[in-house]
Each structure stands twice: as structure tokens, then as C-alpha cells.
């Protein structure tokens, strides 16, 4: 019997739903709860099994995220230093010019990034702003990079225009569970998020969609978030899992720190429930030990943001990431 079959049979013994990483599976909350509740070694084993079935476990996809329009956002996301409602010291800036964005994209490419993500602090883009963003997408694409944007809610026409300009991915996070959402954001609702995600899908753009943990949510909320993400059809191609960055001036500034092992569990459960998605170890790495990051890679995370800044919050410098990846024997995933 091939080794993998033996492993699959042993996994089948107590939970058949875990053994078929490639078969479509409708994850119930009870099943996601059962995964979260597994003894840590068992959860890690299952996550690694699924990871190896679908990816080279030594390859990590490298993205770079640039804030092309910073601050002054009318939304009230409780975690976000770019909301105009909170006094965080982030100043509202205008949309960057095309040449400045392309210069950043070239630098990211030279540093090893395969995907370039452009983020704008908008509730939704205005039509004239979208003209400029489409030109940026075209320019970045022409450099040979994958393109990603996060611009807020979209109309069907805007999603189509972004697709026509060469956009590969659109990021729009569900952030948390449907139940906890109102505690974090009141200026839009969960259904708004799901609607934009569907329009992005309909336009033929790959979906990047994940959430944030450590915002004071319960494990039940983390379960609800993962179950919602895993219920999207198809699964998001990219699933960023963020640890809250507690920024002074935001309502979540004094939120107690989440147990890092609970964060690793969240990554592992995302890996198992969305086996073919690239799971990104996203915001929060600056405050995370290298050991925790290593556990996240073992749990199935296979993407990071590269570069010293994530929109407006700090991220490990490229040298530190290069050093960590070298020590772990990880290499950059080909686009």
C-alpha cells in the first residue's frame, strides 16, 4: 500500500471528511469546530498531509503590497488605522501617480516578488479613480508581475474594467464571522462583501479573501469565519489570515493578544478546509516570533507579504524574511 494511502486510511478512522483533500466537501461548523478542537499534533499532521497533497511544502508565494491611496477612508473598520474616524496619525493622501507605482513594482520584482498588490483606502472607487488604477494594473502586468488590487466594493462594470486591464486577483476580506461582523464594522454589511466577491468571480478575476483574528472574537467566530470562507465556490484562490495589528488610536488598540498557537490552529484549519488555496500568513508578522511563523508554514501557510510595510503597518524587512526562509529551507514559489 502506498504510504499516502496508509495515512489516508488512518485519517479516515475517526473523521472521513478529513481524508479527501481534493474532493469537494461542504464543511459544517461542527466539522470545523472538530478540527479546531483536535490535539495540536493531530491537527498539524492533518494540515501537513493536505498541504503536501496539493503543494510543494517548501515553496512560498511572495507578494508585495503597496498602499496607492492612503488614509481618509470613510469606513469604520475597528482595526484600521486608515479610517478617517480614528486619530492614528495616518494622514490622508492622494492617489499615487502611475510612474511612482511602477517604480515600486519594479523594486518589488527585483526583490523577488511575483505578485504586486495595490491597496486603496476607499469605500468604493470613483469612476475617474478607476481609470488611473486600471492604468496601474496594465503597467504592472506589463512588467511580468501578477496583479492584485484591493479597492473596496465594486460594481459589475468596475470589476469587468479591472479584468480587461489585466487584473489577476482582487482582495476583499470577509474579516470575521457573520455574527461578529457588526462589532467590527457598521458602515457596510456582510452581504455587501459577499456581493462584491461574486461580482469579482463573475468578471473572471481570481479571489483573494480571508480575515483577521485576535480582534476579541471567540473561537466560535473563528470557526464561523473559516466555515464561510470554505463555503465560497470555488474557494478563494488566495486566503490571507491576518493577526490583528493593534494600532494606537483604533478601537482595538488595547485588545488582549491572541495565543499564537490559536493563530497557528486557524492557519491549519484554513489549510485543511481549503486544500488548494494559497494560505497567506499576512499582517501581524512583525510582532510574531520566528518560531510561530515556522509553525504557520508547517501548518500549511504558503504565502507571505514581502517588504517592510503592509499598507501603513510594519512588516519584517526583506533581509529578515530572506534569512528566515533560508534557515527553514523554503524558496520562492514560481508565479
> Of the residues 193, 246, 265, 280, which is catalytic?
280
Query: Cβ 208 to ligand SF4, closest distance in Å?
Result: 14
Query: Cβ 301 to ligand SF4, closest distance in Å?
Result: 22
Residue 171 binding ligand SF4, by CB under 6 A: no
Query: Do you find a cis peptide bond into 234, omega within 30 degrees of 0?
Result: yes
Residue 152 binding ligand SF4, by CB under 6 A: yes
Residue 80 binding ligand SF4, by CB under 6 A: yes
Residue 73 binding ligand SF4, by CB under 6 A: yes
* DSSP E strand boundaries for the chain: 59-69, 115-120, 146-150, 169-171, 206-208, 211-213, 238-243, 278-281, 303-305, 309-310, 313-314, 331-332
Nearer to ligand SF4, 63 or 82 (CB): 82
Query: Cβ 107 to ligand SF4, closest distance in Å?
Result: 23
Query: Which one of the spans 73-81, 261-269, 286-294, 301-309 is the region binding ligand SF4 (CB under 6 A)?
Result: 73-81
Cell 494559497 sits on residue? 278
Does the active-site annotation cover 233? no
36 Cβ contact partners less than 8 Å away, ≥ 6 residues apart: 43, 219, 222, 223, 265, 266, 269
CB atoms within 10 A of CB 255: 16
Does the active-site annotation cover 134? no
- How is 239-263 classified by DSSP, letter by letter? EEEEE----TTSTTTTPPPPPHHHH
| Grid cell at residue 165 | 486591464
Residue 68 binding ligand SF4, by CB under 6 A: no
Query: Cβ 82 to ligand SF4, closest distance in Å?
Result: 4
Scan residues 95-124 and list those touching ligand SF4 (CB under 6 A). 121
Where along the sequence are the contacts to ligand SF4 (CB under 6 A)? Answer: 73, 75, 77, 80, 82-83, 121, 152
Q: List, by residue number, the catalytic residues.
A: 73, 77, 80, 117, 148, 208, 280
Amino acid at each position: 500500500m502506498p504510504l499516502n494511502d496508509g495515512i489516508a486510511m488512518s485519517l479516515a478512522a475517526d473523521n472521513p471528511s478529513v481524508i479527501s483533500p481534493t474532493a469537494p466537501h461542504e464543511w459544517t461548523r461542527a466539522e470545523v469546530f472538530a478540527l479546531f478542537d483536535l490535539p495540536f499534533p493531530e491537527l498539524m499532521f492533518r494540515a501537513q498531509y493536505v498541504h503536501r497533497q496539493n503543494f510543494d511544502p517548501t515553496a512560498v508565494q511572495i507578494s508585495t503590497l503597496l498602499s496607492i491611496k492612503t488614509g481618509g477612508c470613510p469606513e469604520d473598520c475597528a482595526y484600521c488605522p486608515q479610517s478617517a474616524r480614528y486619530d492614528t496619525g495616518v494622514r490622508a493622501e492622494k492617489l499615487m501617480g502611475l510612474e511612482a507605482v511602477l517604480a515600486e513594482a519594479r523594486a518589488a520584482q527585483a526583490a523577488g516578488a511575483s505578485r504586486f498588490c495595490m491597496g486603496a483606502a476607499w469605500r468604493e472607487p470613483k469612476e475617474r479613480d478607476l481609470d488611473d488604477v486600471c492604468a496601474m494594473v496594465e503597467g504592472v502586468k506589463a512588467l511580468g508581475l501578477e496583479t492584485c488590487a484591493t479597492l473596496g466594493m465594486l460594481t459589475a462594470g468596475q470589476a469587468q474594467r479591472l479584468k480587461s486591464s489585466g487584473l489577476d486577483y482582487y482582495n476583499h476580506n470577509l474579516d470575521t464571522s457573520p455574527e461578529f461582523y457588526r462589532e467590527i464594522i457598521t458602515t457596510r454589511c456582510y452581504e455587501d462583501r459577499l456581493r462584491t466577491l461574486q461580482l469579482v468571480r463573475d468578471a473572471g478575476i481570481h479571489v483573494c479573501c480571508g480575515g483577521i483574528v485576535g480582534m476579541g472574537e471567540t473561537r466560535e467566530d473563528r470557526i464561523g469565519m473559516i466555515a464561510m470562507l470554505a463555503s465560497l465556490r470555488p474557494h478563494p484562490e488566495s486566503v490571507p489570515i491576518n493577526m490583528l495589528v493593534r494600532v494606537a488610536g483604533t478601537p482595538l488598540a488595547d485588545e488582549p493578544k491572541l495565543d499564537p498557537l490559536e493563530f497557528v490552529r486557524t492557519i491549519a484549519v484554513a489549510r485543511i478546509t481549503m486544500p488548494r488555496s494559497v494560505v497567506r500568513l499576512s499582517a501581524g508578522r512583525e510582532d510574531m516570533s520566528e518560531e510561530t511563523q515556522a509553525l504557520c508554514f508547517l501548518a500549511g501557510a504558503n504565502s507571505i507579504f514581502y517588504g517592510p510595510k503592509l499598507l501603513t503597518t510594519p512588516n519584517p524587512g526583506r533581509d529578515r524574511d530572506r534569512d528566515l526562509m533560508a534557515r527553514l529551507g523554503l524558496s520562492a514559489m514560481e508565479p
